[in-house]
Amino acid sequence: MSPPRALVTGGGIRVGRAIALALADAGFDLVLHYRSSAGPAREVAEQVRSKHRDVQLVQADLATVEGCEEVVSEAGRVDLLVNNAALYEAVPFADLTVDQWDRMQALNCRAPALLTRGLLPHLARSSLEGGGLVVNIGDIGGDRPAPGFAHYSVSKAGILMLTRALAVELAPKVRVNSVSPGTVVAPEDLSPYVLESIRQTIPAGRFGSAEDIAHMVVFLATKAPYITGQDFAVCGGRSVAGPMLAG
């Protein structure tokens, strides 16, 4: 029997990189999507090969319909789809342009839907225990918005509902869950003061790591065949305590 195969979008950097490497450790062959991070994606691919797993690289802009179609066409057989690629930016609502709004929704919410639909024939035939699996990477901001991130928060709220809707519609052959990080890889432009202010809102007392998200994805793929339609906040308790600050 062939090893299970996972497609990770945005798999060259940050959380996507950690997810790809953790899945390779768990026995998955990989399809790594990237848009502009060709160098980092190639480095991840070499690390995956060093773990004796097969890997395929696919470049595309998932904010376009054509980019999504290209990834579906090139990916082939997929047992697990991890919709990780996303745009994150702060824009005051009064200054938000139509183009900024549309690109955010296209990449963060429409692309996961198009990829899931396109890969559905493969997912529905998966031999994974519990059936094929889609894991959408959400954000606790999809439920608790921060000022300046209206278009981002709306896109992540859409991911949460997409997860629930598809879990109902695609059962029992395909499971759909989401993982919502808190602050696990902080934006590089935040000052030490802002970072400390955010840290103080986290009951666990620290920021998480990309590996924390990757561990949850691996759990859902290998240890949780009866779980579908659920969102898992990996945030150190930040989603249930304190005000939401940007970051």
**Banded pLDDT at 179 (limits 50, 70, 90):** very high
- In residues, how long is the chain? 247
Mean pLDDT along residues 114-137: 98
* Residue 169 belongs to domain with CATH number: 3.40.50.720
C-alpha to C-alpha distance for 1 and 8, rounded to whole angstroms: 22
Q: In the predicted model, what is the mean pLDDT of the chain?
A: 95
Q: What would the pLDDT profile of 132-162 be if each residue is shown by its tens digit?
A: 999 999 999 999 898 999 999 999 999 999 9
Q: Is 246 part of a structural domain of the chain?
A: no
The region of weakest confidence among 83-87, 161-165, 185-189 is: 185-189
Q: Is 42 part of a structural domain of the chain?
A: yes
Q: Is 59 part of a structural domain of the chain?
A: yes
Distance from CA of residue 202 to its chain's centroid? 22
Q: Which domain holds residue 11?
A: 5-240
C-alpha to C-alpha distance for 200 and 158, rounded to whole angstroms: 28
Residues belonging to the active site: 152
The structure tokens listed for 137 are 């990477």
Q: What would the pLDDT profile of 48-76 be if each residue is shown by its tens digit?
A: 999 999 999 999 999 999 999 999 999 99
Q: Is 245 part of a structural domain of the chain?
A: no
Per-residue pLDDT, 245:
56
Q: How many domains does the chain have?
A: 1
- Cβ neighbours around 71 below 10 Å, total: 25
C-alpha to C-alpha distance for 187 and 247, rounded to whole angstroms: 7
C-alpha to C-alpha distance for 23 and 232, rounded to whole angstroms: 18
Mean pLDDT along residues 97-124: 98
Residue 114: pLDDT above 90?
yes
Q: Is 198 part of a structural domain of the chain?
A: yes
Q: Provide the 8-state DSSP code for 242.
A: S
Q: Is 159 part of a structural domain of the chain?
A: yes
